Amino acid sequence: EIARRSRADAEAWYQTKYEEMRVTAGQHCDNLRNTRDEINELNRLIQRLKA
């Protein structure tokens, strides 16, 4: 009984941590995409100012 409960607790902990990491990775991906878009927009602005 103790081993079964311990295993269930470990699996629940793992699932929780996995989900937290999945969400965090998604947020970082969004931030990276937004930063790239901002860099591209600034590069376009620089090119217009040079022209």
Instruction: Answer yes or no: is 32 within a domain.
Output: yes
Average confidence score pLDDT of the chain = 95
Instruction: Answer yes or no: is 11 within a domain.
Output: no
pLDDT grade for 2, boundaries at 50, 70 and 90: confident
Query: pTM to 2 decimals?
Result: 0.65
Given CA atoms 41, 46, 49, 51 in this order, what sign does their dihedral have?
Answer: negative
Q: Which residue has the higher pLDDT, 20 or 5?
A: 20
DSSP 51: -
Instruction: Answer yes or no: is 1 within a domain.
Output: no
3-state helix, strand, coil in the chain (%, to 5): 95, 0, 5
Instruction: Answer yes or no: is 14 within a domain.
Output: no
CA dihedral 21, 26, 32, 34 (to 10 degrees): -150
Instruction: Answer yes or no: is 51 within a domain.
Output: yes
For 19-41, what is each residue's pLDDT tens digit?
Answer: 999 999 999 999 999 999 999 99
Rounded Cα–Cα distance for residues 41 and 48 (Å): 11
Instruction: Answer yes or no: is 39 within a domain.
Output: yes
Instruction: Answer yes or no: is 8 within a domain.
Output: no
pLDDT grade for 4, boundaries at 50, 70 and 90: confident
Rounded Cα–Cα distance for residues 11 and 17 (Å): 10
Residue 31, domain extent: 21-51
Domain count, the chain: 1
